[in-house]
Amino acid sequence: MDFFATAAKGTEPALRDELIHMHIGRVRADRGGVHFTGSLEGAYKACLYSRIALRVFLHLRTFEALDEDGLYDGIRSMDWDEHLSPSHTLAITAWCRDSALTHTNYVAQKAKDAIVDQQRDRHGKRSSVDRKDADVPIFVHLVKNQATIYLDLAGQSLHRRGYRRRSVDAPLKENLAAACIRLAGWDRKSPFCDPMCGSGTLAIEAWQWSRNIAPGLSRKRFAFERWPSFDSSARKYMSELREQARADEIEDGPEIFASDLDHKAVMASEINAVAARAKIILDKKSVLDLAPLSPPGFVISNPPYGQRLMTDREFYGKLGRKLRTLSNHKVALLLIKESMERDLGLRRDKFQIMFNGDIRFRLTMFTIKHGKNKVSSKASWHKNDRPSVDKKHHRAKKASPHKGSSPKGSSPKGSSPKGSSPKKSSHKRSPWDEVKRGGHKH
């Protein structure tokens, strides 16, 4: 079977490595996500364990759809009894580009008509539509008159862990936070600190990863557990998989620190940490009062910007000087504006370009050696800057997508940093945008 796990743009290498670690089958990174082949059990495991994936799709069929009749006939010719019964609800999300059919709402409507018309002919009744929580979510991807039909295994986006009870302005999404932590190279043994924690997402994700807590355990069930094909043997497998995940959790791990100058942010972090069972050491203080970790560890954070008590330039200059006091620490910051890195005055090790919706930012990594990190007066974001994407992933971006079914580009709905709105990128919108936002459903 062929699957496609979607991810925030720029986090595909992290998702690829995560899925490889799960031993679920052949894995190949592409723009907007990762292809993998294997069994349904492997896809179940991805839904339960993945911290970085947004959704996991099962590829059903790809066919030519030159017009509405071609789309309708292609979908109606599929055997839907295997995936859907009249007693199960459905929802259809569509996305199209460079095709004769240009309206996603109409594409979703025609796809729904084809499915329920087949049901009426065979059973005399049809499935109802549930746009919020369907038993069988279906995704139609139409590009250059090639229609690809997927089933969504998870239902709701996998970034929803269930612990976010309180929030702050522009919170960092859980899957994006998890990807940043993995890409920053945290070893899950060294102390971890987020000194500008907002609602605590980075610290909570670090805690859960270091304690081997499967993110999907917070869900009562996934969409695939309501499919007609989910039989007693599949239920037994999922029950055993959950039991094993709970048994694999560990009590001990590195200390996880989080702090923020904003009292409301600290309160939100505390409430969310309790909901996540994360024993984070929280404090209300300025990042400029940050002390070295003992032993030296990782500082990973999403800095604020915009209107503050001091100008951005003054703040980031002071932040850079503070970070240079953290001997033998690793630092990773999510930077939105060119001036941020320049004003820090730190020489970076590497960076990874990511997108937060339409907003481009860089996860920029630094090593502080013996309290010294040479000031770089050449920190810039020139167009010819090359991110730290490995060659295998770079080749995968250029490769043809699986069966012509994978979209090019991704614009995940994620977190916006705190403060005023940054300049938006001109990158093309992805088909997964509609899925992440709820899309056009019928």
What does pTM read for this prediction? 0.82
Encode burial over 302-330: b for 16+ CB neighbours within 10 A, e otherwise: bbbbeeeeeebeebbbbbbebbbebeebb
Q: Which two tokens stand for residue 72?
A: 């309708």
67 & 201 share domain: no
Domain count, the chain: 2
Residue range of the domain that includes 382 = 174-213+250-388
CATH of residue 48: 3.30.2130.30
- Burial tier of 271 (Cβ tally within 10 Å: 0-12, 13-18, 19+): middle
Q: Terminus-to-terminus CA distance in the chain, angstroms?
A: 26
Do the domain assignments include residue 268?
A: yes
User: What is the model's pLDDT at position 374?
Assistant: 59
Of 348, 366, 388, which residue constitutes the final position of a domain? 388
Phi, psi of 241 (to 5 degrees): -65, -40
Q: Each residue of 6-37: pLDDT tens digit?
A: 999 999 999 999 999 999 889 999 988 999 99
User: What is the model's pLDDT at position 403?
Assistant: 43
117 & 200 share domain: no
Cα gap 160→219, rounded to integer Å: 9
262 & 364 share domain: yes
317 & 360 share domain: yes
218 & 241 share domain: yes
7 & 60 share domain: yes
User: What is the model's pLDDT at position 442?
Assistant: 61
366 & 320 share domain: yes
Q: Each residue of 277-320: pLDDT tens digit?
A: 999 999 999 999 999 999 999 999 998 755 443 457 788 899 99
Cα gap 309→194, rounded to integer Å: 21
Do the domain assignments include residue 316?
A: yes
406 & 323 share domain: no
Cα gap 328→292, rounded to integer Å: 9
Low-confidence ranges of the chain (pLDDT < 70): 170, 305-311, 371-442
User: What is the model's pLDDT at position 371?
Assistant: 55
Do the domain assignments include residue 167?
A: no
Do the domain assignments include residue 66?
A: yes
Do the domain assignments include residue 190?
A: yes
336 & 379 share domain: yes
CATH of residue 383: 3.40.50.150
Cα gap 194→259, rounded to integer Å: 7
Cis upstream peptide for 295 (omega within 30°): yes
Which residues lie below 8 Å from residue 99, measured CB to CB, with a gap of 6+?
Answer: 65, 142, 143, 144, 145
406 & 328 share domain: no
* Angle at the Cα of 370 from the Cα atoms of 364 and 375, rounded to 5 degrees: 50
Cα gap 366→385, rounded to integer Å: 16
Max intra-chain CA distance, the chain: 75
Do the domain assignments include residue 166?
A: no
Query: H or E element: which one contains 21?
Result: helix 12-22
Do the domain assignments include residue 18?
A: yes
Mode of pairing for the β-strands spanning 350-356 and 192-194: unpaired
Q: Which two tokens stand for residue 442?
A: 């019928």
User: What is the model's pLDDT at position 255?
Assistant: 97
Cα gap 215→162, rounded to integer Å: 9
